[in-house]
Structure 1
Amino acid sequence: MPPAASARGPSRSASAIVVADTARGYHILRIDGYSLTKETPTGECIKSHPFTIGGHRWSIKYYPNGNKPDVKDYISFSLHLVGAPTEKVKAQFQFRFVSEVPDNSLTSEDVDIFKGTGGWVYSKLIQRIELEKLEHLKDDSFAVRCDIIVVNGFRAVEEHAEVITPALVDVPPSDLHQHLGDLLLTEKGADVVFEVGGQTFEAHHCVLAARSPVFSAELFGTTKESDTEGVIRIDDI
């Protein structure tokens, strides 16, 4: 019969896809004279001044009455890449009002691909009626902030695989010392007697020999006591 194959554990390996390089920034767009911008027809926009983040040129479009008829009661914003028609950029972005407390949710946004002059729209940033009730609008003016993370590439890296240790039996702490103490107190199996200062103490010669080389030599070696009474006398103590 062929020899039995030796048991081997499963091989382990791990890797990760990481962002190789990113650049981040933000642009604040302030809308002054908000009430006058409401005259802009649905689908028409007002453009921001171009700005640069991550080595690319961007612009923001503001739609006071929505970017399409089904969102005409909303304010819409869109982010656009200003570049050559063949340019392609991967980026994450998020619009929020400047008066809002910043959060860390930008990294959870999807990575969008901007091509040439293409853009992505926040069609329902806020309803106009809601904006006019909130503190975002002051002195007929409000501001939005567009955060952008430009993703320049991804790469794979090797990681150390986590070694999972098999579950072991929970071994209770040793209670040998307690058992040996009980043996001494009860004097069960005691086979040697010490006489010290007129008092006698019973003990176990195996335990003494294991714990002391002196007693081991005295009890088992050439210096073994030959007292017929089995008593070891210790003087001057």
Structure 2
Amino acid sequence: MGRHIKSGIFKVGGFNWAICYYTDGSSLASQGYVGVALELMSPSSGVRATFDIGLVNHRTGLSQVIVNVGEPQLYSNALTRSLFGFYPLMKTSELEVSEFLQDDCLIIQCDLRVIGMPQIEMGTEKIQVPPPDIVQNLQKLLEQKEATDVSFDVQGVTFDAHKIILAMRSPVFKAELYGSMMETRMHLITIEDMQPVVFKALLHFIYTDSLHLPNDLDGEEKIEMVKHLLVAADRYAMERLKLICEYFFSKKLAVENVAAIFHFADQYNSHKLKDACVEFMTTSNRINDVALSQGYSNLKRDYPCVLVEMLEKASKIPKI
């Protein structure tokens, strides 16, 4: 516990990086989980980066994104923060029986994006312009609850927010807060059929435009969380959040769950996700394996119309 294996050094954006792989968590709180951290190896006073980290399925050769850090993080040797965070991938016991592990080996794929800092000329001197900080300012506005003017009651948990920001980000919130659908009690609105943790993540996205999932969630819990967020995105007409959730599910597709995910996508008009499900089934001719899955049987029994649509779509795509 707390010990890690460091990868070879790789260069992105003119800086050297390494992945640190923890075999048994970084602390007592994460013991029993394998996880990763990203380390800046080059000396630097400040580098901003976002990244995705996934594991490669040895059988299919496909990568499954498990960690998505869409909000720029600051790496700085001067601030002794060259090693940033610990991101759990999955329980050790789950990894040992998964197709990510073969002959005691696993492949970690990192998609790293370094965000450069522009320069301006003042006379003969070039000066670096600090990175935009409006997202951080908006996040502080949410966290510090400064000048909030509306509250939400979600299963007994109260969240304070700003009406104008909610209205700017969601046409549904705009109608509820300013239009003919305006709530009679403007200062306290009750949200039905949503968990507090989901509403918190929804607010975080509204203020920062980035998806944030709690680090302590395991694989299945993350899938369930994103499922609820997609429902929330559909409810509040937030197309960007919905698209991000659809992308998340497209990377989680497997023979056992593709039929269930297709049905879920059909319920919430996620056409791109439905197409991804069909493409998954037709690639490498997986349709026969899918037909033997429990998810397929459930769809055949309970929602035959959805199954017919799925098979019709699959029949129109040339098999690879």
TM-score bracket, normalised by the shorter chain, equals 0.3 to 0.5
Highest relative contact order (Cα 8 Å, sep 6+), 1 or 2?
1
- Structure with the higher helix share, 1 or 2: 2
Q: What is the TM-score with the length of structure 2 in the denominator? A: 0.32
- Based on CA coordinates, which of the two structures has the bigger radius of gyration? 1
- Structure with the higher strand share, 1 or 2: 1
